[in-house]
Chains A and B, each alone.
Chain A
């Protein structure tokens, strides 16, 4: 019997057998190139050479799985690549916290009736990370902050069980940051509204979370050498240059060399990820991550607060921004009484940690068997048994 794990994120799917060392990443969407007129399913995107004007088709909308036709194509590719016998496979698949029940039913139907898998565990990604963290550090409590593509979740855990009172969702994620950067560059410099792929790379390479926003704002105002924030980014033309790159501080003069096309990033570098901490900067009047962490913990009973503050775990794609960990620490430290100890840690592999948690769960025979719904059970009881077993509310 094979145990297969898919961490089904809205932007990338992390998958692999439980015997694998680390997960493989597949873009969880279809893309169409403008010039080659071709559609790429998932990782076929590697074959693409011209990323300009790439058109995205995502199965997810606002973080929820909506388009099953697209998802099926990506999954088929994943299963084909992994070369497993589906009828002999038990699957762990992740879903967002409080997924829609219609979506859950569709998933179960796809897994059991169409793909014919032998068993299913449907679980939240933060839950898997918490599982791994608690086992590795032999703790009872932790608070997972999962900042992904569509939104950011904050979820406290006690011994592998989610604490419902403390769950928070901020409707701000990596997609919004990329789109906002796109808008800003298009207004201030160069029309790049069509270039989601390229600007996403710009974001990943140049943006960082400021640990001292006021200071960075002052530095960004300076001119010449004193301004150590401004950077030039050379855009790819997909003829001679396939991937854009950032110039070093010395080389960032604002003047393009030869045939280069550059964009110049100054305060954009830190004011974009800043939206995660202050969504109100663009008029979304929600709490930022730090404030929401405190709001979540304060809503729980006094006895467990110190345990939660001591075990904050960051995961998800946005945790890859440099300075993210430090910023969360600084902000939360300012907001809570000094009697609490504070410890914020980022998973080594921000993207793969939920998958690693799944692997750990798969290795633990008893707990795994307790959670799984086999095809036989599904055929007998249908969706109700899945709801009973998987739902975080009982």
Chain B
């Protein structure tokens, strides 16, 4: 049994696999992206909500979309489609709420734009298209690269380092730190 239990990472280490420049850069970028995260863990509490509540949430979403569909349909053709109307009613009865009135629907509509959660990437893209011909904008004020040479620190203990790990390019300062590095980090999370 014990023969089968071996780590691919350690095996690669023994074989002396060396990471290429592209992979090293990707690793670096990933490390930087990790610093942007608000939470390391996943949202446990929402995952633990009982199934029934999750279902109701889904129904809510459905109702919301159906309402908007209804709205556009009434406007377009003047008569609401029977089937979707029925659907909405069934769902409404399911969550024991009276069918939403016109004012509520209106409120939902005005809120919809704020409610609409554009993610950062799409906002960034939109902003870029908006301002790219202006001299000063969000993108132009970002500082340029530093002129000072890079300082090098041991990835294990944090003091100045003089050596580079042959395999992955991390820095280390002593054989002790190198050993720790190889045991824990080297070539990890590179796949």
Binding site for B on A (CB under 8 A): 32, 34, 37, 39, 53, 55-58, 61-62, 64, 66-69, 72, 97-98, 100-103, 106, 109-110, 113-114, 164-165, 167-171, 175-176, 179-180, 182-184, 187-188, 193-194, 196, 217, 220-221, 266-268, 271, 278-288, 291-292, 295, 393
B151, A280: Cβ atoms closer than 8 Å? yes
Q: Which residue of A lies closest to B43 (CB)?
A: A55
- Expressed in whole angstroms, the Cα–Cα distance for A33 and B62 within the complex equals 29
Known: A98-B138, A100-B126. 5 other contacts (CB 8 A): A102-B127, A179-B36, A194-B40, A196-B38, A271-B153
Q: Could you name 21 residue pairs across A and B whose Cβ atoms are closer than 8 Å?
A: A55-B43, A58-B38, A98-B136, A98-B138, A98-B141, A100-B124, A100-B127, A106-B114, A114-B110, A167-B136, A167-B141, A175-B36, A180-B35, A188-B157, A217-B159, A221-B159, A278-B151, A282-B31, A286-B142, A286-B145, A393-B136
Contacts of B137 in A (CB 8 A): 98
Contacts of B53 in A (CB 8 A): none
Contacts of A32 in B (CB 8 A): 43, 45
A176, B145: Cβ atoms closer than 8 Å? no
Within 8 A of A (CB), among B116-161: 117-120, 123-124, 126-127, 130-131, 134-138, 141-148, 150-151, 153, 156-160
Proximity bits, B100-125, A CB within 8 Å = 1, else 0: 00000000001101110111100110
Contacts of B118 in A (CB 8 A): 66, 102
Contacts of B146 in A (CB 8 A): 278-280, 285-288, 291
- Expressed in whole angstroms, the Cα–Cα distance for A221 and B142 within the complex equals 36
Q: Which residue of B lies closest to A153 (CB)?
A: B141
Q: Is residue B191 within 8 Å, beta carbon to beta carbon, of the partner chain?
A: no
Contacts of A37 in B (CB 8 A): 45, 48
- Expressed in whole angstroms, the Cα–Cα distance for A109 and B143 within the complex equals 32
Contacts of A101 in B (CB 8 A): 127, 130-131
Contacts of A287 in B (CB 8 A): 143-147
Contacts of A194 in B (CB 8 A): 39-41
Contacts of B34 in A (CB 8 A): 179, 183
- Expressed in whole angstroms, the Cα–Cα distance for A391 and B147 within the complex equals 32
Contacts of B142 in A (CB 8 A): 168-169, 171, 286
B113, A285: Cβ atoms closer than 8 Å? no
A113, B143: Cβ atoms closer than 8 Å? no
A-B pairs, top 8 by smallest CB distance, nearest first, are A98-B138, A193-B40, A287-B143, A176-B35, A164-B136, A68-B114, A179-B35, A167-B141
B120, A66: Cβ atoms closer than 8 Å? yes
Q: Is residue B37 within 8 Å, beta carbon to beta carbon, of the partner chain?
A: yes
Question: In the complex, how many residues of chain B place their beta carbon closer than 8 angstroms to a beta carbon of chain A?
Answer: 53
Contacts of A284 in B (CB 8 A): 32
Q: Is residue B28 within 8 Å, beta carbon to beta carbon, of the partner chain?
A: yes
> Which of B37, B123, B124, B184 is close to A179, meaning CB atoms less than 8 Å apart?
B37
B150, A286: Cβ atoms closer than 8 Å? no
Contacts of B148 in A (CB 8 A): 278, 280, 291
Binding site for A on B (CB under 8 A): 28, 31-32, 34-41, 43-45, 48, 110-111, 113-115, 117-120, 123-124, 126-127, 130-131, 134-138, 141-148, 150-151, 153, 156-160, 184-185
B110, A69: Cβ atoms closer than 8 Å? no
Task: Say how far A327's CB is from chain B's closest CB, in angstroms.
Answer: 15
A62, B141: Cβ atoms closer than 8 Å? no
Given the known A-B contacts A100-B138, A106-B114, A280-B146, are A62 and B158 also in contact in the complex, defined by CB atoms under 8 Å?
Answer: no
- Expressed in whole angstroms, the Cα–Cα distance for A56 and B40 within the complex equals 10
- Expressed in whole angstroms, the Cα–Cα distance for A34 and B45 within the complex equals 7
Given the known A-B contacts A55-B45, A68-B117, A69-B115, are A165 and B143 also in contact in the complex, defined by CB atoms under 8 Å?
Answer: no
Contacts of A110 in B (CB 8 A): 114
Task: Say how far B128's CB is from chain A's closest CB, in angstroms.
Answer: 10
Q: Which residue of B lies closest to A268 (CB)?
A: B158
- Expressed in whole angstroms, the Cα–Cα distance for A100 and B141 within the complex equals 14
- Expressed in whole angstroms, the Cα–Cα distance for A393 and B28 within the complex equals 36
B136, A165: Cβ atoms closer than 8 Å? yes
Q: Which residue of A lies closest to B29 (CB)?
A: A283
Given the known A-B contacts A56-B39, A283-B32, are A220 and B159 also in contact in the complex, defined by CB atoms under 8 Å?
Answer: yes
Contacts of B138 in A (CB 8 A): 98, 100
Q: Which residue of A lies closest to B28 (CB)?
A: A283
Q: Which residue of A lies closest to B37 (CB)?
A: A179
- Expressed in whole angstroms, the Cα–Cα distance for A61 and B39 within the complex equals 12
- Expressed in whole angstroms, the Cα–Cα distance for A106 and B111 within the complex equals 10
